[in-house]
Structure 1
Amino acid sequence: MANISLDKDINAQIDELRSQIDRLSTDLAKRIDSASDRADEALSSAKGKVANIADHARAEGRNVVQAAKENPTATSSVLIVTALLGLFTGLLLGRLSD
């Protein structure tokens, strides 16, 4: 008689655990769907922003090339000064690290 009562209690607990697992599974599925939707929206937004940035960078690159073509002397001067600054910075950092 005690075994029958114990079996009923165990079966009731197992049924309760199954019910809780089903609720947790449903809740988890809803959360995953929600997170997936938010990730899709963020990705779409990021794609648009990256496309705009790329277009802007291309336009600025064309402007720089055009300015360099129109002013070759100034362009050469800027490149030489930049190279010299880099050289001197490298030498200075080399001496400071010794």
Structure 2
Amino acid sequence: MSPRAQKWTLATVLLALAALFAVWFAHDRHWLASQLVFTAPPLLLALGVVTGRGKAMFWAGVLALFWFSHGVMSAWSHPETAHFAWLELLLALAVIGVSSAPGLRRRFSKR
């Protein structure tokens, strides 16, 4: 995958994750807090990835580990919203894979 395609793929996955959180917590009692904690970070990271900020891809991968953990906890503890949690798990794994690809490519490439 080319760096340009990787950048746009990661931005798309981050925007999908932000949309998921916006829908998931739309009727939350603490709406503003949930939007600031869950929806804002992937939006800001997508903006950073698209504008070419150097560390945005790294931080997306780091935060995806937290999103993955949140998805696992939610899937097991809240069966009524498990479909959101499983989608969060899949998107978090996609963020981890796409953001880790350049490092893995450099690590395992022929010299």
What is the TM-score of this pair, normalised by structure 1? 0.28
Which of the two has higher C-alpha Rg? 1
Using CA pairs under 8 Å that are at least 6 residues apart, name the structure with larger relative contact order, 1 or 2. Answer: 2
